[in-house]
Structure 1
């Protein structure tokens, strides 16, 4: 699951801009749950493994497409299958509306093109460049491999609007080929990346960098609030561009420096299960990522963690828990910037209704992402639902505070 910010330190007086603007995020049933309900999940997972996907579709892409190179699939960690929070943007003049995932784990903006030949594009809103008076053709191509989905497209520039903020000459991608069925079931049209420019496949400034450069936000900061899974949550989620919303969190903000400017990567001191430091005791690196629903970590450590919380594997790589034992499951604590962030089983267990049964799945998943600083952990929406997150581009830091949730 990939909100506007206010910096603690004032910027120079020369900085001017409008008040922070809110982007409403809506929460929907993720693709994984839809496929499970339709009995299609197992076949989907088999056919969309990155290695099999490459063998099947590599010949459909231009020779030498960078994103099809061996190992590239791990570089874009966005997880379409579990995405839940989407918001609206518009491109072009007159405006053309699209639903996108706001993803801090990538840096590109793309939407389907009217020239797209894939089934997925036919089921989503498509950008009509010929109808926009402000569109500028680029001509270069790009490819993005997200692991569970791949797309190919062409680049362009146009006027982008988000929650009343207008960004001129924004570089973006028009996807013209989305093979496989990954995007067919997805409720969103595209993705808007909020990571650092070094993550981008599309040349040019990412969206938020352009907002800062064009001085259309008060401060170079944005923030996220994600609701819990309740029927009365309001808002379902919120992205604040240009500040933070003090009404959506409680207590002090813990600021943690970014250690590498690609993902929003920070240092994590340790991970403890029921108070016992079990993982990365000498410190490790973590990504704060709205585009990943679960909490991910190196395979060996996550398998050990699953055992410690009593989760058992299924034949398709998920981990089940006994719904009747949730109250007795251990707490899992992440230490970031010297502060403990504790999740109870109510926080890290995902509940789904399958037929007449309630199933309880672990909110932890194995994902091996190697960086120069070592294996990375990913703090996705399971974590970010409990903690309001603030992304400060001006001072290259991430702020975390306890999120406020309504009581049912």
Structure 2
């Protein structure tokens, strides 16, 4: 279960040749290393009028809409001709699914529905799929079709067509479905994630993607498939090894204020999750953090903060792989017309490696994050 809060193949001559890309390697270098550059140039002669050397695949950005600093979603299309849907790009799950005409739940009726009969490239299956999130669920059936994400067209992509979306959360959500970016092992019904197909179909130059989330409701958020953008962060990326290949799971050394450890003493496991709005953790350490930042629980169970106190509130430091990642009060206090609330939430997510913490959007907004599948690392650097 995950929480969702409201929140290569190179074509040469007549054959297909799988040519792996090494980290940081250009496509031109890749072809030269494999002895294929001459063949490619014969088939695709260089145009002197062109500024850039032609490539077989380029990094592609998917713009994300910032919905009140709560959720970030972008538009994809499925089918031929394309049918458009807004989806959460979620590193905490691994399935792609959208509402379908097979669904009569109020949540489906309030969103765009995929109609297989209107797509000439759709392939049906009888395989069921069921996904449970922290604040919603869906059941449905799997199918295959072309999925367009940014400038990338993924052929024969397996995805879920919802038949039931119970409850009120998905009814009121401003997005239609979810596109999971976690590892295949986390996917329900063994469905291959979209990103895995992007790489296996040689649609991107590097086996990684990166994320920038804007603050204060501003535009400009994106997922960049197959590359990074140095203009969005300062300094160097700090590479953090993964401790599991399901979620994007890492080790947090400690959580501290002014050098005093207040949570995660002796380290803890955390996942970097674009599909969760807040920072979540086990009840006891989260309660400790709420105490130290002066948050008190109101009658609705929310942890509220005096908005006038923000300038005097402490910076919370997450030490990860020996590097400090500070989180100022301006980042972890959520402000709206109703007042100010804490960006930390208590939640139990038990796994074989203990209760997981979730570094959600509250954390990610402060850091440009690279999700590196080739080397099983997460890279982080302060936003520029």
For the pair 1:274 / 2:258, whether they are aligned, the reply is yes
- 8 Å CA contact retained: 1:173, 1:202: no
Out of 354, 361, 364, which is 1:384 matched to? 364
Q: State the alpha-carbon separation in 2 of the partners of residues 189 and 25 from structure 1.
A: 14
CA distance in 2, matches of 1:23, 1:202: 26
What is aligned with 1:10? 25
**Conserved 8 A contact 2:65-2:219:** no
Q: Equivalents in 1 of 2:23, 2:259: separation in Å?
A: 32
Q: 1:261 — aligned with what?
A: 245
- Establish whether residue 289 from structure 1 lines up as the match of residue 273 from structure 2: yes
C-alpha distance in 1 between matches for 2:75 and 2:139: 22
The aligned runs of 1:303-314 (5 Å cut-off) are: 303-314=287-298
Secondary structure of 1:247's aligned partner: helix
Secondary structure, aligned partner of 1:269: strand
Q: Which has the larger radius of gyration?
A: 2
Q: Is contact 1:226-1:385 (8 Å) kept?
A: yes
Per-residue deviation, 1:377: 1.0
- 1:323 & 1:7 partners in 2: Cα distance? 49
Structure 1 residue 147: Cα displacement: 2.5
Higher relative contact order (CA 8 A, sep 6+): 1
C-alpha contact (below 8 Å) 2:23/2:206 kept by paired residues: no
1:23 matched to 2:62: yes
1:28 and 1:7 mapped to 2: Cα distance? 36
Q: CA distance change for structure 1 residues 293 and 7 in 2, over 3 Å: closer, same or farther?
A: farther
Q: 1:363 aligns with which of 336, 340, 343?
A: 343
1:172–1:202 Cα contact (<8 Å) kept: no
* Corresponding pairs, count: 342
Instruction: Report 1:140-155 matches (<5 A).
Output: 140-155=127-142
Rounded to whole Å, the distance in 1 between the matches of 2:324 and 2:134 is 32
Encode CA deviations 1:359-379: one digit per residue, 9 max, x unaligned. 100000011112222221111
Taking structure 1 as the reference length, the TM-score comes to: 0.81
Question: Please, which runs of 5 or more residues in structure 1 have no aligned partner?
Answer: 31-81
Task: Return the match for 1:317 from 301, 322, 329.
Answer: 301
Query: How far did 1:280 drift?
Result: 1.9
Q: Distance in 2 between matches of 1:265 and 1:173?
A: 25
Please give the alpha-carbon distance, in whole angstroms, between the structure 2 residues aligned to 1:17 and 1:392.
20
CA 186–252 in structure 1, closer or farther in 2 if over 3 Å, else same = same
Distance 1:123 1:334 in 2: 40
